[in-house]
């Protein structure tokens, strides 16, 4: 992984965060996925008046990328205004385990974008449920 990728991806996640639709929590999150071919696909959280329908930034980015025919994700950056940056929720961890199992997960606080924490998808969701038995 080029060291450059980390800064590029965090920067893309910061820009995507500006488009978050979070009128209820006011907590804006941005995400950016990197494909093996170097493409970046971004997302931001979208909330609903029916709170449970909310979709996290990570899933928005993943769904955008997948439905655009992209796969082979090597990294995802997630940013928000919180210490250390936001680690993906359980639902997002599940989808990352299924569709981006080899991705490095970078998280950063928008106030300190150069201070990036690093995780693996397997580390965030050990013993993931990956397929329905026949
Ligand atoms: N959220 C994300 O988008 N990603 C995370 O990693 C954590 C939580 C969103 C969901 C909701 O819109 C708001 O943050 C508060 O939970």
Q: Rounded to the nearest whole angstrom, what is the distance from the C-alpha of residue 71 to the centroid of ligand 1?
A: 23
pLDDT at residue 45 in the model: 99
pLDDT at residue 59 in the model: 98
- The Cα–Cα gap between 43 and 54 comes to 13
The answer to whether 58 is a known catalytic residue is yes
- Any idea what the CATH number is for the domain that residue 74 is in? 3.40.140.10
Nearest protein CA to atom 14 of ligand 1, as residue: 27
Q: Which residues contact 60 (CB under 8 A, 6 or more apart)?
A: 31, 43, 44, 45, 46
Quick: pLDDT tens for 118-131. 999 999 999 999 99
Q: Which residues contact 84 (CB under 8 A, 6 or more apart)?
A: 107, 108, 109, 117
Mutate to test the pocket of ligand 1, among 61, 86, 92 (most ligand atoms within 8 A of CB): 86
User: Could you tell me if residue 133 is inside a domain?
Assistant: no
User: Could you tell me if residue 134 is inside a domain?
Assistant: no
Quick: pLDDT tens for 5-27. 999 999 999 999 999 999 999 99
Q: How confident is the model over 73-99, as a mean pLDDT?
A: 98
Q: Dihedral sign for Cα 73, 57, 81, 38, please.
A: positive
Range(s) of the domain holding residue 92: 3-124
The reported pTM is 0.97
Strands 104-109 and 73-80: parallel
- The Cα–Cα gap between 101 and 96 comes to 6
User: Could you tell me if residue 131 is inside a domain?
Assistant: no
Q: Which two tokens stand for residue 38?
A: 């170097």
User: What residues pair up with 106 in beta bridges, in sequence order?
Assistant: 77, 118
Write out residues with Cβ below 6 Å of ligand 1.
22, 25, 27, 29, 45, 47, 54, 56-58, 78, 86, 88-89
User: Could you tell me if residue 120 is inside a domain?
Assistant: yes
pLDDT at residue 2 in the model: 72
User: Could you tell me if residue 88 is inside a domain?
Assistant: yes
User: Could you tell me if residue 89 is inside a domain?
Assistant: yes
Whether residue 1 has pLDDT greater than 80: no
Total domains in the chain come to 1
């Amino acid at each position: 992984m080029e060291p450059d990728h980390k800064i590029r991806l965090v920067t893309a996640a910061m820009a995507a965060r500006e488009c978050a639709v979070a009128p209820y929590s006011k907590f804006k999150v941005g995400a950016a996925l990197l494909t093996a071919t170097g493409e970046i696909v971004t997302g931001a959280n979208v909330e609903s008046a029916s709170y449970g329908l909310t979709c996290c930034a990570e899933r928005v980015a993943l769904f955008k990328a997948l439905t655009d025919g992209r796969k082979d994700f090597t990294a995802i950056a997630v940013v928000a205004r919180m210490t250390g940056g936001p680690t993906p929720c359980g639902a997002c961890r599940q989808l990352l385990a299924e569709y981006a199992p080899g991705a490095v997960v970078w998280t950063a606080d928008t106030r300190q974008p150069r201070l990036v924490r690093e995780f693996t998808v397997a580390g965030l969701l050990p013993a993931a449920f990956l397929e329905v038995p026949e």
